[in-house]
Structure 1
Amino acid sequence: MLSNVSLWRSGPDTDELPSPTTVVPFAGRIGANQEFSVDKTNSAHIELLQQSPDAAPWIPLKDALSLRHFLHVALWKAAAVEAIGPKFSVAPSVAKDYMITLRSIFATGALVPSLLGGLTAILVLPLFIFAAGPVSGAHLNPTITIATFFGRLATLPRCILYVGFQVFGGAIGGLLLRASLDTRSFIVPGCFIDTTKVSAGSAFAIEFTTDLALIFLSFGVGLDPRQRSVFGPALGPIFVGIVLGMCTFVTGFSRPGYTGFCKSLSQPYIAWGSNKLQAGNPARCFGAMVGSHFASYHWIHWIAPLCASIIHGMLYYLIPPYSRKRTPYVGEGN
């Protein structure tokens, strides 16, 4: 019976499996940027850097702002992968009944749910980074993408496409949540503010401070090339997960009416832990509001990360982890 079976073979004289697709270098890749980035002074990389200037760090300004990179299909494919994280961070959100149950179970209020949320981020986020990293660099969050642009690790076209697809993924997640609950009257923990307890100015200050801490620590453990000799690129995503989990836990219970950065509630319900997976992710909150209703304070979820990214970009410029010797860059045409 098996005489007519045709088995696929990689070649006429070999039983080897096909080689994996080559990983496209990207200086803004979380964790493995230390492994998958190139030396911009090496003439062998001229063609690669002409097509992808952010394959090497510290991109010249004219290349970072060039719009011709919108024409590269590979960049669009990478951006499409970025829609996955925000979608899955919105869709599993829960309604009020489960949060009321948590409130009745834990006498400590928001403390234990915040701890559960932090632990979930520590465990799950590195898996998303490992999965999406080879294709897109695994930002999965507009805050990280915008920060890499101001840190001169990503071009403007990549930043625009990534943020656009991240927002699109969040919107799809919000619509899926609405369809799952069959109503727009639901609460997605972490994306609403109890304005009777927390003012807009206070919420912005907390968001900005925590976003800046998230960016600084994530860059330090996941994007600093000097860390390769310390713990290697494989541990970078794990440490980024620890950073997110720590920020989620610390801000999850410290202020009544505010249960975590990009994690505030409009009603006094305790947030479900796993909904803190994408803390500090404006695309997640955008998707939540697409599925439910937009709030007047949604600007906080965007302006705070933007300001934090700009400040961190200035810090990266003043104290860069990369050498800025004026060796001619192969894409500058000097």
Structure 2
Amino acid sequence: MSILPQAKFWRSKHDAERLPSAAIAVPFAGRIGANQEFSLNKDNCAHLEILQKFPDAAPWIPLRDALSLRHILQPALWKAACVEAVGTCLLVYLTCFFAIGLSHTVNIFATGALVPSLIGGFTTMFVLPLFIFATGPVSGGHLNPTITLATFFGRLSTLPRCILYVAFQMFGGAMGGLLLRASFDTRDFVVPGCFIDTTKVSLGSAFAMEFTTDFALIFLAFSVGLDPRQRSVFGPALGPIFVGVILGVCTFMTGFARIGYTGFSGNPARCFGAMVGSHFVSYHWIHWIGPLAASMVHGVLYYCLPPYDRERLPAVTAESS
């Protein structure tokens, strides 16, 4: 007897025509890893309608449009912010869960934190690109207030998007922290990258390391993931991978060099979630002021040395038109 005689293991051309078409991603100049592949030319009259709804669909947003709050009620922005919350929650939970486990192995190795930092950085290289690929089509794959603030000061995203993204990233991080507390059944845990032994490291030194590494992260991430001149080199596929490599390298290089310093934060929402799940510390301001200061400094650099001609911005691609 034949089993499932009507089953088909391939689709005919007629069947393919009945499949739903993929939704078109809303153009966004600050989409991390896409090298502005999905941005619009603001001088093209055909894009006027979408630019009125989303000024950051084109790079180099006029300051008046960047600061205006009239777009904050756009449903698409809220949907993107919700995706940021979900992605940040899962990213915070997984990376913190793994980091807590690695911290228990520090005393096993004669080299101390060297091997755990190497493993943690290597893992980050794989985890972050996967989340960027997963969330990028909807939100741009920021998953990090540092990146969102940097795109705002680089005039690649508007203030409404920045406010919603950072707020929802914090909410997602907090949910990830509460899930960590439920998973470990305790609040007494330490997350590497969010812990500083203030008896061995001064707050000024910690801030200097956080600021400098955050600036390096932003500088390199913009160079490989947001520079339109790299579009033909990396494209939207390789960009997220290299952004993950950058974060992994920064995590490794700052995780073992200074006794009492477990590595740079790199993501304020991650440390915020870790402290919601455990306990808040007095130096948590470093995890926010460091990225904010680095974003502002990079914004000045981005203004002085923009990667495109301000008079002739990148034209729209076929996919985003």
Is TM > 0.5 for Structure 1 vs Structure 2?
yes
After superposition, the Cα gap between the structure-2 partners of 1:170 and 1:65, relative to the gap in structure 1 and judged at 3 Å, is same
Deviations 1:286-306 (A, max 9, x none): 111111111110000000000
Distance 2:101 2:285 in 1: 28
Residue type of the partner of 1:201? G
Q: How many residues align?
A: 305
- Are 1:316 and 2:302 counterparts? yes
Counterpart of 1:68 (choices 53, 67, 70) is 70
Deviations 1:35-60 (A, max 9, x none): 21111110000001000000000000
Distance 2:103 2:74 in 1: 49
Deviations 1:72-108 (A, max 9, x none): 0000000111113331233243499945651243221
The residue number in structure 2 matching 1:242 is: 245
The residue number in structure 2 matching 1:153 is: 156
Residue type of the partner of 1:296? S
Alpha-carbon contact 1:58-1:322 (below 8 Å) kept: no
The residue number in structure 1 matching 2:319 is: none
Alpha-carbon contact 2:170-2:273 (below 8 Å) kept: yes
- Are 1:295 and 2:281 counterparts? yes
- Are 1:226 and 2:229 counterparts? yes
Alpha-carbon contact 1:32-1:234 (below 8 Å) kept: yes
The residue number in structure 2 matching 1:186 is: 189
Counterpart of 1:198 (choices 201, 212, 218) is 201
Matched residues, percent identical? 74
Deviations 1:277-318 (A, max 9, x none): xxx000011111111111110000000000000000000000
What's the Cα RMSD here? Answer: 2.4
SS of 1:305 mapped into structure 2: helix
Residue type of the partner of 2:108? I
Alpha-carbon contact 2:121-2:248 (below 8 Å) kept: yes
After superposition, the Cα gap between the structure-2 partners of 1:89 and 1:313, relative to the gap in structure 1 and judged at 3 Å, is same
Which segment drifts farther, 297-306 or 119-128?
119-128
Counterpart of 1:210 (choices 188, 209, 213) is 213
Residue type of the partner of 1:198? V
Structure 2 residue runs of 5 or longer lacking an equivalent are 5-13, 314-321
Distance 1:84 1:115 in 2: 27
The residue number in structure 2 matching 1:34 is: 36
Matches within 5 A, 1:93-172: 93-94=96-97, 98-99=101-102, 101-172=104-175
After superposition, the Cα gap between the structure-2 partners of 1:222 and 1:94, relative to the gap in structure 1 and judged at 3 Å, is closer
Could you tell me how far 1:222 is from its partner in structure 2? Answer: 0.1
Alpha-carbon contact 1:94-1:187 (below 8 Å) kept: no
Structure 1 residue runs of 5 or longer lacking an equivalent are 3-11, 263-279, 328-334
Alpha-carbon contact 2:117-2:252 (below 8 Å) kept: yes
The residue number in structure 1 matching 2:311 is: 325
Distance 2:150 2:183 in 1: 34
Could you tell me how far 1:323 is from its partner in structure 2? Answer: 1.5
Distance 2:33 2:299 in 1: 19
- Are 1:173 and 2:181 counterparts? no
Alpha-carbon contact 2:28-2:56 (below 8 Å) kept: yes
Distance 1:315 1:228 in 2: 20
Distance 1:152 1:256 in 2: 38
Counterpart of 1:82 (choices 81, 84, 103) is 84
Relative to the length of structure 1, the TM-score reads: 0.86
Could you tell me how far 1:230 is from its partner in structure 2? Answer: 2.2
Distance 1:100 1:27 in 2: 38
Relative to the length of structure 2, the TM-score reads: 0.89
